[in-house]
Structure 1
Amino acid sequence: MQMALPTKPHTNRYVFPFKGGQYVSKPHTRISSNVSKKVRPCSIRSSAIATPSSDQTATVSRRSGNYEPSVWDFNFIQSLNSTYTGECYAKQASELKQQVDGMLQEGAMEQVDQLELIDNLQNLGIAPHFQDKIKQILESIYQSNYGATHKPKQMKDLHATALEFRLLRQHGFHIPQEIFDCFKNEKGDFKASLGEDTKGLLQLYEASFLLTEGESSLEQAREFTTNLLQENLNNIDDDNLSLLVHRALELPRHCMLLRANVRWFLDAYGRRPDMNPTLFELAKLDFNIYQANVQQELKHISSWWKETGLAEKLPFSRDRVVESYFWTTGIEPLEQGHERLLSTKIIMLETVLDDIFDVYATPEELQLFYDVIQRWDLESIEKLPIYMQIYFVALNNTVNEIAYHILKQQGVVIIPHLRKSWMDLCEAYMKEAVWYNNGVKPSLKEYLDNAWISVGVPTFLYQVYFLVTNPIEKEATKYLDEYHDIIRWSSMIARLADDVATAGDELERGDVPKSVQCYMNETSASDEEAREAMRLLIWEAWKKLNTYRISSSCPFPEVFIQNVVNLARVGQSIYQYGDGYGYQHFETKNKDRMMSMLFDPVA
């Protein structure tokens, strides 16, 4: 069954208890940057349960997430000690960069060789060091082949054509899908003879994932190449090519966070017969230096987490320092270490908040907590249980820390904006708590209209905007307050990937039905059919995200747009092999990938 993703913009709503069996609600005005003091009431119908205040010790029946302890504890993280922080390694890397820079000189090689070099630089994680030179080369290729005085040339080599298309479009150049028409027959279908060119098919497959809405030719290319590559998977003689095809069919490059996959590409590149030794040495050294910096940041954030006492005082919540940091590996530019640390704090606080609402708090506690958050009322926190008091003070301190950082940098007061983003997240969590405690089974549309907020990505990106953008534009913050559609579709990808990987586990511990179950309830589909339907919705969301990514009307700067896209990629990566965050059915692949990325240097 084909389904369209919801297109109605998210609006906050008052949420009231059931009346006469009906769920009653009314819209309200979205909070402006001057945070309203008006409480948005939200009630949960439940049996009377004694609520412990800060000085009460009454025993309360609570659910449990049955979360496993962290794979990487405090002592392990603090013991990390890489030698690659030394100045000698930075000097060696600088010398290698000069050699690679010489390879990128315009006219030094054939055009297709230039493109392959750029592609290798990206896969190996060292392209950021040569961004200006790469942009210059691609601009020259674009002007030469597609400029005003040139008609788009009809290329006959599928590999070269698809590679050029992918790299140019990836860097913001408008390349028409018609460039692939020369590979079609008179009926408009891709020629069957292309099945003999596995290298070209792989490039066309990767290129097709950059399609935007309405590009039927690229949609056709995606289906055509996917089918042929799957059919030929076990008959590829070239071991390196076979490895790349297997990897691409797991997750195409455009949907993959390259930073998290550099180690894999390094290993694959090192086995290639045409491997460039200079490129390889630089990539290995750069990776190890990056990893050494990561470990220093992990030690810092681990110490902060211990100092907050949240893991000790709120033991029901997930203790996930490393996994939270992994969410921030998509933050660009890479030099923004302090911003990445602040972003990690956001993820960790979102995780605890999610567990308060989904797992631990009683309905009465949630009502009190919700009211305090909506007013951001520090004077009223004594009404809360002690664990909620501890959380709210930690949240308030972090919000103030981020706001102070931006005030020092740019002289802009953003506290109202930051508070608003947390209020919106709490409202989405509260709505799901109402559903759960009243036995409501939402429709797929009702669920997704709320769940793209409750996944936490909009709250995260809202704050990341202020951390990576300089200068902050008032016009852009208006679109930020409304959660522009580019944020919506990035969030939707993460939400659906999360649901496909974790829906069964979350229902077992007691949670509102997720998208998979909502679809099953509406269509009587099997579990696997529902998961496949959600995977198709992820693909539809990618098309929408691609459309906004290159739209001239998008109000945000390029640096923020790149971070929005990267968050979608992180979401797919962390749930690619199952639940890579909560640990239910924690796959070895997830652990191995994080170990290789964050802890194990390249020899």
Structure 2
Amino acid sequence: MAFPIFASPPVTFIKTLSPQNLSLSQATCNFNFSRPIQCKASYKVLNDQNQTISRRPSKFQPSIWTDDYIQSLSSEYKEEIYGDQRKVLREKVKIMLCKIENELDQLEFIDVLQRIGVSYHFNNEIRDILDNIYNKQTSKLKKNLHATALKFRLLRQHGYDISTDCFVCFQNEVCNFKKGQFVDVHGMLSMYEASFHSFEDETILDEARDFTTNFLKGYLKQNRGNHISLLISHALELPLNWTMSRFEARWFINIYEKQENKSHVLLQFAKLDFNILQSKYLEELKCASRWWKGTAIVEKLSFTRDRLVENFIWNVGANFKPDFEQFRIGMTKINALITTVDDVYDLYGTLEELELFTEAIDRWDLNALDSLPYYMQICFHAVYNFVNEISFESLKKNEKYITTPYLKKAWTDLCKAYLIEAKWYYSGYTPTVEEYMANGCVSIGAHAVFTHGYFSMPHSIKMEDLVLLGEDSNIIRLTATIARVANDHGSYKRENETGDIPKLNKCYMNETGASEIEARDYMKSMMSTLWKKMNKEAQSSSFSQNFIDTNMNAFRICMFMYQYGDGYSIPDPKMQNRIMSLVFEPIPN
């Protein structure tokens, strides 16, 4: 589903409160724990058998990927022999990259490395080439639209300060097209892709996106089946800057294999690298699945969504690099827990029960368990132990910061936002767009996920980062807003049928009198505007590049999951096939 640009509506961001009474002395410590402290759910259950409690029905299908199935799988590509083969091929590709002298050839090869999924092996070499291209600024290809657009896209993607003035001289392309004269199709496709790296108020890129979109759609009507038409059709569905990198790599390897001028060495390297990473993901998924089964949540809370594999894919999309193993496993766990707690608030809990659970999370006190019904005891137990696990792992890395206050606050804020939505539901209240987005950007869970994610990444913890995490940093706020809009855009139909609270489109329709089509256009426009803000924020954020990239990837995985509807809650065969190709099915040699 393509998301063409519309007139950008005003977007209001509401700043959340920073951690209260969280001093530096509370956040720093040198304690060493021999093991994480865990609590166990009490088997003392509130006796409400004599009461008839009305609960919303759950229609979620069980997962097709059971733990038994996951544990039964294995991949030959985890064997050392394949790693040795990859090292040899990597050196050959590195030599190829370093031997290229022509500027356009360098740019095109870097583009292929990125799309085919192996550029992370050559970060230093790519940086040296782009530094040289950026510093020279004497390109002989200034009149080549394809070269100029590709150069702009790659430089801006990698954080270089490059102006849109380089496109002014190509306004003749528009005139040539209108006159029916020859237009560079490759150039138009490159310009289309470059336009999605725009900042706010870059009018020339807004115009370029509109014009190139119309041109490429017209080209497809007249041309089908050739190589360029496949690339165009793919780009119109989702531009590169909005695409999940692992899924793009799987798709592009297949496309690249059909090219006449392909490098057989690069193709062999890309396939092998993809399969080796896939074998690593499978072992990580097994680990997460064993944990998930151990929580007994699926067994004892039958109303909740069992979407562990989808949660794992979410985090492969967030950061696919091999050294992010603990991040992917940890974030799969928190996503599964957030989904469970979300279903407690959305589907199963009564308002009185939800108020008790929110209070228990806020107090973070094991004594609060006695006031909760058994199913909530299971949830509290799982969340409490997971936070202890993250904190313990952080201390094991000899970090001097105690993470629990930050993680606890993230859960408290999330549950309070869920409770607000529950109160809206039970009172039949339709919030304004501003009210909905202020709360919805918390209830989407992005801040909770990335607060936990920060402590699970392979980097050193910095106090200045912790301050930003507590104060609701711009980049996380933008990620949360984009995720909320993308989620509502994809899941509104399913949630409308299940009787959930009004989502963004309903709030907008109620407030403005707009039609459903106009409301959805408004949401598409918001996504475009927010992504421009994100492009700009990525250039100036003080967080590490890995943290920035992971935040931006969160939007890309939203587009992956919600591209054809709610692929997370109701995975259809298309989504299941996508997941199979990413984790379970290696690429044939």
Both structures adopt the same fold (TM-score exceeding 0.5)? yes
CA contact (8 A) 1:33 1:417 kept: no
Q: 1:433 to 1:2 in 2, by over 3 A?
A: farther
- For 1:500 and 1:299, the matched residues in 2 are separated by 32
CA contact (8 A) 1:577 1:587 kept: no
Q: Deviations over 1:439-480 (max 9, x none)?
A: 110111211111111111111012112222632111221111
- For 1:269 and 1:154, the matched residues in 2 are separated by 25
**What is the 5 A alignment of 1:267-286?**
267-286=254-273
CA contact (8 A) 1:125 1:258 kept: yes
- For 2:248 and 2:224, the matched residues in 1 are separated by 24
Task: Select which of 316, 323, 326 maps to 2:310.
Answer: 323
CA contact (8 A) 1:499 1:514 kept: yes
Residue 79 of structure 1 pairs with residue 64 of structure 2: no
Residue 112 of structure 1 pairs with residue 112 of structure 2: no
- For 1:463 and 1:195, the matched residues in 2 are separated by 53
User: Aligned residue for 1:98?
Assistant: 91
**What is the 5 A alignment of 1:406-417?**
406-409=394-397, 410-417=399-406
Indicate the SS of the match to 2:322.
Answer: coil
For residue 188 of structure 1, report the CA deviation from its aligned partner. Answer: 10
- For 1:282 and 1:418, the matched residues in 2 are separated by 40
User: Aligned residue for 1:596?
Assistant: 581
One-letter code aligned to 1:543 = K
- The higher-RCO structure (CA 8 Å, 6+ apart) is 2
- For 2:140 and 2:420, the matched residues in 1 are separated by 55
Q: Deviations over 1:50-93 (max 9, x none)?
A: xx953443442211231011121222211111111111111111
Indicate the SS of the match to 2:323.
Answer: coil
For residue 269 of structure 1, report the CA deviation from its aligned partner. Answer: 1.0
- For 1:195 and 1:445, the matched residues in 2 are separated by 48
Residue 370 of structure 1 pairs with residue 363 of structure 2: no
Q: Deviations over 1:233-284 (max 9, x none)?
A: 1223661111111111111000111113211111111111111111100001
Task: Select which of 322, 326, 330 maps to 1:334.
Answer: 322
- For 2:82 and 2:10, the matched residues in 1 are separated by 49
User: Aligned residue for 2:28?
Assistant: none
User: Aligned residue for 2:171?
Assistant: 184
Residue 381 of structure 1 pairs with residue 386 of structure 2: no
CA contact (8 A) 2:60 2:305 kept: yes
Q: 1:154 to 1:214 in 2, by over 3 A?
A: farther
User: Aligned residue for 1:205?
Assistant: 192
- For 1:318 and 1:436, the matched residues in 2 are separated by 20
Task: Select which of 543, 548, 558 maps to 1:571.
Answer: 558
User: Aligned residue for 1:124?
Assistant: 116
**What is the 5 A alignment of 1:199-598?**
199-236=186-223, 239-329=226-316, 330-331=318-319, 333-409=321-397, 410-468=399-457, 470-551=459-540, 554-583=541-570, 586-598=571-583
- For 1:412 and 1:308, the matched residues in 2 are separated by 28
User: Aligned residue for 1:18?
Assistant: none
- For 1:475 and 1:326, the matched residues in 2 are separated by 30
- For 1:243 and 1:162, the matched residues in 2 are separated by 19
Indicate the SS of the match to 1:580.
Answer: coil
Indicate the SS of the match to 1:301.
Answer: helix
One-letter code aligned to 2:572 = E
User: Structure 1: any 5+ residue segments left out of the alignment?
Assistant: 13-28, 36-51
- For 1:527 and 1:237, the matched residues in 2 are separated by 33
For residue 524 of structure 1, report the CA deviation from its aligned partner. Answer: 2.8
Q: 1:187 to 1:387 in 2, by over 3 A?
A: closer
Q: Deviations over 1:3-45 (max 9, x none)?
A: 6343343335xxxxxxxxxxxxxxxx7534369xxxxxxxxxx
CA contact (8 A) 1:332 1:559 kept: no
User: Aligned residue for 1:54?
Assistant: 46
Greater shift after overlay, 183-192 or 305-314? 183-192
For residue 383 of structure 1, report the CA deviation from its aligned partner. Answer: 0.5
Q: 1:184 to 1:513 in 2, by over 3 A?
A: same
- For 1:193 and 1:154, the matched residues in 2 are separated by 24
One-letter code aligned to 1:103 = M
User: Structure 2: any 5+ residue segments left out of the alignment?
Assistant: 1-5, 25-43
Indicate the SS of the match to 1:336.
Answer: helix
What TM-score comes out, normalization by structure 2 length? 0.91
CA contact (8 A) 1:185 1:191 kept: no
- For 1:66 and 1:414, the matched residues in 2 are separated by 37
What TM-score comes out, normalization by structure 1 length? 0.89
Kindly, what percent of the aligned residue pairs are identical?
Answer: 41
- For 1:242 and 1:320, the matched residues in 2 are separated by 36
User: Aligned residue for 2:154?
Assistant: 167
Q: 1:61 to 1:494 in 2, by over 3 A?
A: same
CA contact (8 A) 2:486 2:562 kept: yes
One-letter code aligned to 2:59 = N
CA contact (8 A) 1:469 1:557 kept: no
- For 1:75 and 1:474, the matched residues in 2 are separated by 42
- For 2:174 and 2:249, the matched residues in 1 are separated by 41
CA contact (8 A) 1:359 1:510 kept: no
